[in-house]
Amino acid sequence: MDKKLNIGCENDYKEGWLNIDFKKTEITKPDKIINLNSLPLPFQNNEFDLIQCTEVLEHVLYPESVLKELKRILKKKGKLIISMPNETNILERITFLIHGALDDFQKEMPHHFHFTNTKQQIELYSKYFKINKITYSSIKGNKYNKLPMFIRNFLLNKFPNLFSINMVCELTLEKLREQDEN
């Protein structure tokens, strides 16, 4: 039986998975409370076949340290599904231009500690994992949605930093562990 870990489960509780989050709320009812800013994670090496960590790393103090931990707890042939927002899309740039700040940033209690674009995310993930698949999620908006689908898809795939709100990556260890052993 595959062992699956859902990190930052919030309102995405998955049956048959170990669902974790940093606190319990009316919305978030994790199986286990774990603070990703306190490492190491309380799991064995090579414990999980599948890990989902979507829209989480931008909220932790040291995302690279968390990635190293995910590499440690992922089985050799396991998969990691991961995503972070693309904070350089055209809508965020316009918001910053008009308001002088992004909506997610509050000085008293920052919601996002890190602001990344798709290129930075690819560079970060590639340090520890092999990227098997990238899926870009398109920005949304009335004017943008009036464009024909083939134009939206062209813009999304040609200029993901401008036209995607996030990207979801499927990562594995296979090639990297083989290189480490040689």
Where do the DSSP E strands lie in 2-161?
A: 4-7, 18-21, 32-33, 48-54, 74-85, 130-138
pLDDT category, 108, cuts 50, 70, 90? very low
Of the chain, the percentage scoring pLDDT greater than 90 comes to 61
State the pLDDT at residue 77.
94
pLDDT category, 76, cuts 50, 70, 90? very high
pLDDT category, 41, cuts 50, 70, 90? very high
State the pLDDT at residue 177.
47
Q: Domains for the chain: give ranges and CATH numbers.
A: 4-181 (3.40.50.150)
CA 26 and chain centroid, separation: 23
State the pLDDT at residue 176.
54
Q: Tokens for 1?
A: 């039986």
Residue 107, pLDDT > 70, answer no
Q: Which of the two residues, 125 and 90, has the higher pLDDT score? A: 125
State the pLDDT at residue 27.
82
